[in-house]
Every structure is written in C-alpha cells, then in structure tokens.
Structure 1
Amino acid sequence: MRRTALAALALAAILPHAQGQASQPWPVASTDPQYYDDSDLKPFAEAIGGARIVALGEQTHGGHEEYLLKTRLLKYLHEKMDFDVLLLESGFYDMARLAERVEAGEKLDDIAPGNVFFMYANTAEGRGMLQYLDRQRALGQPMALGGIDSQHTGETSRKELLPALHAYLKGAVPALADGAAWRQYAQAVQPLLEMQRTPPPAPQQAAFRQHTAALRRALCRPAWGPDSPPGQAAAADSRTGAAFWCQTVKSVEAQAAGYWSADQDYQRDNQMGDNAIWLADRLYPGRKVVIWAHTVHTARGFQRTPVHLQAGEVMHRHWAADYKVVQFSGAGGRILDYVSLQPQALPAAPPDSLEASLAASLANSPHAVLGLTASALPRPGQPQFSYEYQAQRGGQLGVNWDVLFFIRQLTPVSMAR
C-alpha cells in the first residue's frame, strides 16, 4: 500500500495542475521572484481563496530557496491578489518608525540594518524582499509596513523608544511622565531594549509593573465608537496615538515577563499576535495583509501552556478562516544557522514522514518544489517532519498550516552585509 501511495503521489507530482483538480499536488516551476509565468501559482491562489490575512512562514530563517519562494509569493499576493500590507517579524516600535521614514522617501533596504531582523536585513535573499518593496513604492504601488514582534531589539528602539514615549506622555498624561515612578520605569526598560536578561531587584520590578499598569489604564482605551468626535479614532489609531503607545507599553511588558523569568512566563508570542491584530484591524482596517515570520510564530495550534499561546494561535482564534498559513519544508540539503551563522545540514527526514514520501515522489522528477494542501496528502494524518519542530511540537498540513511548499534540496542563504 505504501508503494502504491508513493507511486500515485509521484504521478500526481509531475502532472500539470488542471482545472478542478485542486486535490492533487502541483509542481512549482521556479522559486525565482522574477519568473515570468505565474500559472504555477494558481493553485496557491485557490488555496488562499478570499482570506484577508496570509502568513508566510519559514522553518529555518536560513534557507535560500525558502526566501526566494516567499518573495515570489509576496509578489504574487501583492500584484495579483491585492494584498497591500506587510507585517514583519521585527520590533513593533522599530518598524513603525521605519515605515514613517520609508513613506518620507528613504529606502527600506538602506535603513533596515540594525532595525529589521538581521536575517531579513543582512542576507542577500532577505534584501531581495526589501528591495522588492522599495521598487514597488517607486512605482507608486507601495505596501504599507508594520512589525509584530513584542521583543524590541532594534537600534531605533534603543535610542528613541523611551524619549518618544516620555514626550508623548508629557503632552497627553503629564502625571505619568514625571517623578520617581517614571524614572524607575525608564531604568527598568532601557536594559530590556539592550537585550539584557538579568532581572532587576524585586522592588524595581514591582515599580515597573505598577507604572506599567498606570500606563495601560491611561493608554489602552476601547476602540472609539461611532459617536466619537471626528478624527478622534484616527488619531488614537495612528502610529503616534494612544493606542499605538498602548501596544508599545504592552510589548515592553511582555519582553520583561520573558526576560526576567528565563522564559518561564513567555509572553512574547501572546503579544506578537495582539500586535498583528491591532495593526491589521485598527491601523490598516479592511486591507489585505501578509505576515512574514518564522512558522513557530505563525502556525495554528501551537502553545507552550494554555496561557502561553504562540502568535499564530492567537491570530487564528481571532480571524478564524480569514487567516491562512503557508509553510515550507525540505528533506535534504543545508541551511545557514541563524545563531551560529554557520552552514548546517538538515537532519534526515524519518521514513514515515510526509517529507520522506515527497522526496521519494520527486526522486526521478525534474521538479524541485512541490505545493500541496491537506486534500493532496498521500495518507490522511501523515506526520510531518519540519526542521526545528522535530523535538518541539511536530506539525501537520491541514492542522497547523493550510499550504505546504516542499523543497527537495535546500541551500544556505548568503550574508550580504
């Protein structure tokens, strides 16, 4: 039966996709974002359907083909399916300030280093995505930008976040910008922005939490209703209004919770999901949104504990069927490990995994990339092997993500600066 299933899959994999055959896998002609013919992505469009939010995951942060294909899919979603907002796995505050600078005429590729996650800002493949955004803006077809990460590690946050928050509070809530309470809060926050994980003494932590609670009471108001004064909602939901600062304060609080507890109280992803929801629903309401992040932050159904959800599960619970997740996996080759910055071989896929079946189906095929949805699985419920999830959670097409692009052999990304 296994040989029969593999033979059937192999046959389906090398056949061109035909109208009405959405249940069979489809070969992807090229990962090149400049590939001239998008007909091989029509099954992808059918799988996305009318969803408003599409998350493009990545399993390694360091796969050359993953980044190229993600950029090609981003281009397709933007130019053919009217998605015009991109939210990156980068700091919420950093990306807000970068978005303003880009709208004022600067190039994102120029200002990304030190602010955008370095595997996007400093690799040739990540820069390809940034440069695509710059070209589209120059053509008058821009994508709006945002960052979902509650962990603020960018240079802009380190230098500007506290002074900008203080200036806002001086004008909006002066009592929260003066005195010992603000000074203690700022003294606790700055080390977080410099990625220092050593918890401060208990009294300083208590003072931080007390002032955070006061800030949240002042800034985190409900969405403005239809009877609000003209312009009030727009001001609150701008990149400089109360709601923006509410998200920033909550993000700093989440960073503190994780850092000071050695990730026992890991609130990063809960807040990442909350940030994405605010950006999509309040800053960019009604617009079609692409989220670009590691799959651990985008997949449905992942949680550390019942109160420590991964961001993808937070977003799924909020958007339901309007939220689609795309995953990428492989069965061989090498990637660049983003921690050591050294090439690293992918572990061998277990024999009973979906990846092993797909690799067998492509053994004698000219195609290097295969796309599929759960209805095309050779065996319903077949376990999936995805690098980095092997020991953590596993993952399954149709359960944790909606579309899978299988890449037969991965090669490492290249550091470009």
Structure 2
Amino acid sequence: MIHASRILLSLMLLLNPECGLVAFGQVQEYVAKNAVPVRSIDMHDTGYADLAPLAGAIGNKRIVMLGELYHGDATAFRAKARLIRFLHEKMGFNVLAYEADFFALNHGWDAYKAGKISIDSLIYLSIYPIWTQCNEWQPVQQYARDCAGGRELKLTGFDNRGYSGYGLKHLAAAIRSYLDSSQIPFTKSTAYGDYLKYLRAAPRITGGAQRGKMDSLIHYTALILKQLPDSARNSFYGKLMESQLAFYKMDIYYKFDSIYSKTGKDYPLHDLQMAENLKWLAATKYAGEKIIVWAHNMHIEKGNAAATHHNQYNSMGYYFTQDTALNAQAYILGFTSYAGEGKLQLTRPGEKVTKPPRKSIENWLHQRGHPFSFLDFSRLENEAPFSMKTYINTEFEAPWNKYYDGIFFIDEMAPCTGLQ
C-alpha cells in the first residue's frame, strides 16, 4: 500500500521536479554540517565532552523526552542510560518519568519514601517487563538504586493502560480510601457498592467479554469525576480517575468497536490521557523540577499526524506541546538506526532492521562512519518531507525537524537479551 505522504511527495515532484531535490539536498547538507559523533554509550563513561553539543541544544529546558525505535532496542537502552546519568549529574535533571503505570509509580514512590516498599520492588512491580527483564536495561535500575538516599533520581510514570503488579495489589484499595474521604454524594448511594465490586474485579473483566460490567464502570467513573470539585480534579486521584475512565473506554473500543475490528486503527485516547498525566506531573507534582521522559518515538513526537498521515493518531508529544509554556520547556530527542536487529517484545524473535533508502537521514549519518551521532534540528529551516525511521522498521517521509528537536543515531542496533 502506497503511503499518503509518499503520494504527496510524488505529486510535488511531478509539478516541480526541483522541489524534492532541493529539499533533500538541503537536509543532506545540514546533516553534513551539524551531525556530531557521540563517543560512547557506556553509562560508566563520565567523560562528557562528546555530549556538550546535546547540552547546548537542551540549554535551560527542563523536560527532555528520550525515544526508541523498538521497546526491545538494547543499544538505545544503553545510550539512554548514559544520557540519563549525564542529565542527572551534570544538568540537574532529577525526575525520570516512564511510559509505565501512572498509579503505581506515583502512589508507589510515596510508599517507597515512607519505607513501605524497596526501590527494587517498586521498579519490578511498576515498570513494564519489556524494560525490567532486559539485561541491557539493568544499569538504569542500578543507577536509580545507587542514587537512593542521596541526590536521588525520582521515579514516576504517566501511562494509563492496564495493571502492573503494584496496581493489582493496591489500586482498588487506594481509590476506595480516597473516595470514602471525599464526601461526594455518589459514595452515599447504593450504586457505590456496585462500583467498588466492579473496581475490584476490573483486572478480570477488562480484556474480556463482560460488556455490561465495563459499561457500568465507565458510567460510575464518569459520575465520580463529575462530582469531584475542581481542586480534586487536578489532584493525583483526579488524574487517576481520568486515567481509569480512559482505560475502560480503550478496553471497550478494542474488544467491541466495529471500527477497530474492520480497520485495526488504534484508539487516540491513550496518547491524549498520557499527555494529560505528563502535564500534571510537569505542572503540578514536579513543578519547576527537571524531568526526563522515557517512551517510544511515536509517543513523544510533537507534529500533527494528520499533516503527514504517517501515524494513525496524534501522539502524547503533540498534545503535550500544544501547551505553549510546556512546549518552550521541552526538548524531544528521537532515536533511529541504520542497521542491526531489534525486538518488539522480549518473548518475540529479533527483527532485522531494514536498509534505509539512499536519500534518508540514516544513510547520510551512516556514511559519516560514526557508530553513534547526535543531530540537533533547531537550525534546520525545512518544511518539506524527508525520509527517516521513527517506528520500528517503517521509513516515512515527513518534515521530521517539526516532529523532533533532535535525533540520536545508532548505526547498528542490537536486540535485548532477557534476564535468566
């Protein structure tokens, strides 16, 4: 199937044969002049002179988003580990926000600080196994452990999907405790008991065929949100109830909606809610603090999906940066690779990275001969599409400098190896 953005570019070339050549030539020249080698992705390499260009590009921004092509990209994990240490030790970033359980990594962090859970247990029970069960990710956990009790790296999360091990154990009880103290009218009604029953059963009825119970959960959760005062809506539990409502709606969509069964089109509410959670973290819980965001490329990109049709829906990064104040404080770093092998999940076999086109960011960076490179897009005045990978093995043409502030290039990716 020919992608819409490719059709658009072909039409542009038919109308003006020089158009595409000028755009590609401009980007290729920019890469040649501005890409800088990164010497190492070893977390223990603290000679940070090679990261000075990245520090200069970030400047005084306080939110840095780090992407990845695959959730099983071991080389990117190693690179991100070094970047996290650099950002923490040299640039004052003190919060690490994961594309992982919003409830667990916020409620759980408070429990850790109160001495109720170890940091290792919190990480194991709250962050998804695609990272925690990967050998090459382990230096990140070790670094968080080493920082505990000193100049700590705070852990948090913003994903509203599913249930982590921590959530399975604590979510229902935490929500009930909060609602019991809220004094909203719903808690005095007979329906409150039904809601609590469905809430406890939610891990079993989500993803199943119990449509009636899911509809009731959606109805009751929406009613709770309507009755919460504005001050509570902007609290952790207000955002948690919003996240639960979005999750229940997602479950209904994927299991019962004919649009998904016919088209396979993903549900945009997921990224929208992640953006709302991340906004709350940046503007309320960690206001004024410096935050590192760990997520997939497709979640952090800030361009409008409809402009290029390379994605099915707008991303978390798009919704997050619609807030002009937060956009001014954010630096979004995508990751891409020329060759190698990655994994979608640890349990799946590796997938060979497809060779990129001759006129692509990956090929131009590969020709420079460096295993790792950083390219800042801030001085690239380009509106025309050019070719780059941002999702697994999919190469698309888009004005990627409008979607990412910079790119970390890995010449050869390696897949994660699972813990024994």
Tell me whether the two structures share a fold, i.e. TM-score over 0.5.
yes
Cα distance in 2 between the residues matched to 1:254 and 1:156: 19
Structure 1 window deviating more from structure 2 (371-380 vs 129-138): it is 371-380
User: How far 1:104 sits from its partner (Å)?
Assistant: 3.6
Q: Which residue of the partner structure matches residue 209 of structure 1?
A: 218
Which amino acid is 2:372 matched to? Answer: V
Q: Which residue of the partner structure matches residue 398 of structure 1?
A: 401
Residues 39-58 of structure 1 correspond to what in structure 2 (within 5 A)?
Answer: 39-58=49-68
Q: 1:344 aligns with which of 329, 351, 356?
A: 351
Question: Contact between 2:211 and 2:252, CA under 8 Å: does it hold in 1?
Answer: no
Q: Which residue of the partner structure matches residue 18 of structure 1?
A: none
Residues 307-346 of structure 1 correspond to what in structure 2 (within 5 A)?
Answer: 309-318=314-323, 319-338=326-345, 340-346=347-353
Question: Contact between 1:123 and 1:415, CA under 8 Å: does it hold in 2?
Answer: yes
Residues 4-403 of structure 1 correspond to what in structure 2 (within 5 A)?
Answer: 24-105=34-115, 106-138=117-149, 140-173=150-183, 175-177=185-187, 179-190=189-200, 192-194=202-204, 196-198=206-208, 200-202=210-212, 204-219=213-228, 221-222=230-231, 243-262=235-254, 265-303=267-305, 309-318=314-323, 319-338=326-345, 340-362=347-369, 367-374=370-377, 381-388=385-392, 390=394, 396-403=399-406
Cα distance in 2 between the residues matched to 1:303 and 1:151: 22
User: How far 1:57 sits from its partner (Å)?
Assistant: 1.0
Cα distance in 2 between the residues matched to 1:284 and 1:350: 42
CA spacing shift, 1:183–1:352, aligned 2, 3 Å: farther
Gaps of 5+ in 1: 13-22, 223-235
Cα distance in 1 between the residues matched to 2:208 and 2:185: 29
User: How far 1:44 sits from its partner (Å)?
Assistant: 0.2
CA spacing shift, 1:349–1:180, aligned 2, 3 Å: farther
CA spacing shift, 1:96–1:395, aligned 2, 3 Å: farther
Cα distance in 2 between the residues matched to 1:335 and 1:378: 32
> TM-score scaled by structure 2?
0.81
Question: Contact between 1:330 and 1:386, CA under 8 Å: does it hold in 2?
Answer: no
Cα distance in 1 between the residues matched to 2:381 and 2:110: 48
User: How far 1:188 sits from its partner (Å)?
Assistant: 4.2
Question: Contact between 1:107 and 1:134, CA under 8 Å: does it hold in 2?
Answer: no
Cα distance in 2 between the residues matched to 1:278 and 1:159: 24
- Equivalent residue of 2:125, what SS? coil
Structure 1 window deviating more from structure 2 (111-120 vs 187-196): it is 187-196
What is the percentage of aligned positions where both structures have the same residue? 24
Cα distance in 2 between the residues matched to 1:302 and 1:62: 26
User: How far 1:220 sits from its partner (Å)?
Assistant: 5.4
Question: Contact between 2:101 and 2:163, CA under 8 Å: does it hold in 1?
Answer: yes
Which amino acid is 1:317 matched to? Answer: Q
Question: Contact between 1:122 and 1:416, CA under 8 Å: does it hold in 2?
Answer: yes
Cα distance in 1 between the residues matched to 2:304 and 2:139: 30
Alpha carbon RMSD of aligned pairs, Å?
A: 3.2
Deviations 1:75-108 (A, max 9, x none): 1111111111111111111111321233245543
Question: Contact between 2:97 and 2:158, CA under 8 Å: does it hold in 1?
Answer: yes
Q: 1:410 aligns with which of 394, 410, 413?
A: 413
- Equivalent residue of 1:131, what SS? helix
User: How far 1:209 sits from its partner (Å)?
Assistant: 3.1
User: How far 1:125 sits from its partner (Å)?
Assistant: 2.3
Deviations 1:171-204 (A, max 9, x none): 22264345542243344444543583235334x4
Cα distance in 2 between the residues matched to 1:116 and 1:57: 16
Question: Contact between 1:151 and 1:268, CA under 8 Å: does it hold in 2?
Answer: yes
- Equivalent residue of 2:127, what SS? coil
Structure 1 window deviating more from structure 2 (340-349 vs 303-312): it is 303-312
Cα distance in 2 between the residues matched to 1:251 and 1:34: 37
Gaps of 5+ in 2: 1-20, 255-259, 261-265
Cα distance in 2 between the residues matched to 1:4 and 1:400: 20
- Equivalent residue of 1:332, what SS? strand
Query: Which is richer in helix?
Result: 2
Which amino acid is 1:325 matched to? Answer: I
Question: Contact between 1:6 and 1:360, CA under 8 Å: does it hold in 2?
Answer: no
CA spacing shift, 1:157–1:302, aligned 2, 3 Å: farther
CA spacing shift, 1:257–1:271, aligned 2, 3 Å: same
Which amino acid is 1:31 matched to? Answer: I
Structure 1 window deviating more from structure 2 (263-272 vs 36-45): it is 263-272
> TM-score scaled by structure 1?
0.82
Name the count of aligned residue pairs. Answer: 382
